[in-house]
Amino acid sequence: MNLVKIKCAFCGKEYFRQAGRVNEAKKFGWNQYCSKECQSTANATRIKKTCGNPDCNNIVSRALNQFKKSKSGLIFCSCSCAAKINNRKYPKRQAKLKICPICKKQFRENRKYCSKECKLKALNGYTSKELIGIIKRTARKLRRIPAKRELKLIASICAKRFGSWNKAIIAAGLQPNRSHDHQMYTRSNTKATDGHLCDSISEALIDNWLTENKILHKRNVSYPDTNHKADWGINFKGKTIFVEYFGLAKDSPRYDRSIAKKKTLCCKHKIKLIEVYPWDLYPKINLDTKLKIFLS
């Protein structure tokens, strides 16, 4: 047994203790005592000191063991006093000085407006015609119906102005994607460039990427020994690869159980599974990174 000589944190007496115990106490910053009497006395003994903030003269009472845990040796009467001293000692890098475009007030924050009130004033300045124009321009740029998450800045205003995001899409003369309330039960078939029918715009984006990169693929391929189907099945370099778009992940317990089942089946039958999620498509399409195996 490896023993180490140390000093009692209360009485100063030297005694031997297991090296493992000593190292553990040092790691977690625990005081070490030669006996239970010293430990209980240290816990019961209280000392009084003036608050470590020189601008505050409050008297602080702490247990002796709490005082010895303090690295700086200072005791503070409150979190605000501790923050004032720590901020002086370790100043944080401040954000650049900005001017709010609404109220012209100067502020230091990594945002466009100084407050939520100013942001709402700016957003409410849009007319219905301007909101529709933004949706149309975004749709032309993306060559598809924009998702709500892609226009977060005006989505809430559109919902208030038109009644819902889908109603705003209809007002712009476009066909909305399937709604969140019915996404587990209804499908809006979208045809990809190669003629494949996809269950959503998001799936069509993935199918079109595979076509553009000349990757032969099949839709709705069955998992072995089950009724589950993969969105795409690809025979790549002699190996079977399934590509799944899990668009409702973390959105429905039933859907999450289906994801877990598919992962288990792929492990069991040694099928490589590539999982694509909404954050791989929005706000920026990252399929070149997600499906880079097919570009090698």
Query: 80 exposed, middle or buried (CB, 10 Å; 0-12, 13-18, 19+)?
Result: exposed
* The pLDDT of residue 207: 95
Strand 218-222 relative to strand 229-236, pairing: antiparallel
pLDDT in tens, 228-265: 999 999 999 889 999 999 988 887 788 889 999 999 99
Q: Give the chain's mean pLDDT.
A: 83
The continuous run of DSSP H or E covering 15 comes out as strand 14-18
What is the pTM (predicted TM-score) of this model? 0.42
From residue 187, how far is each of 164, 203, 217, 219 by CA, in Å? 19, 12, 21, 16
Architecture per CATH, domain 190-295, reads as 3-Layer(aba) Sandwich (3.40)
Query: What percent of the chain has pLDDT above 70?
Result: 91
Q: Is the dihedral of CA 84, 89, 92, 93 positive or negative?
A: positive
- Spatial separation of the C-alpha atoms in residues 275 and 192, rounded to whole Å: 20
Segments of 223-282 assigned E as strands: 229-236, 239-245, 272-276
Q: How many C-beta atoms surround the C-beta of residue 44 within 10 A?
A: 10
Query: 176 exposed, middle or buried (CB, 10 Å; 0-12, 13-18, 19+)?
Result: middle
Q: Which amino acid is at 132?
A: I
pLDDT in tens, 161-203: 888 888 888 888 887 765 444 444 345 578 899 999 998 888 9
SS (H, E, C) 86-150: HHHHCCCCCCCCEECCCCCCEECCCCCCCCHHHHHHHHCCCCHHHHHHHHHHHHHHHCCCCCHHH
- Spatial separation of the C-alpha atoms in residues 228 and 226, rounded to whole Å: 5
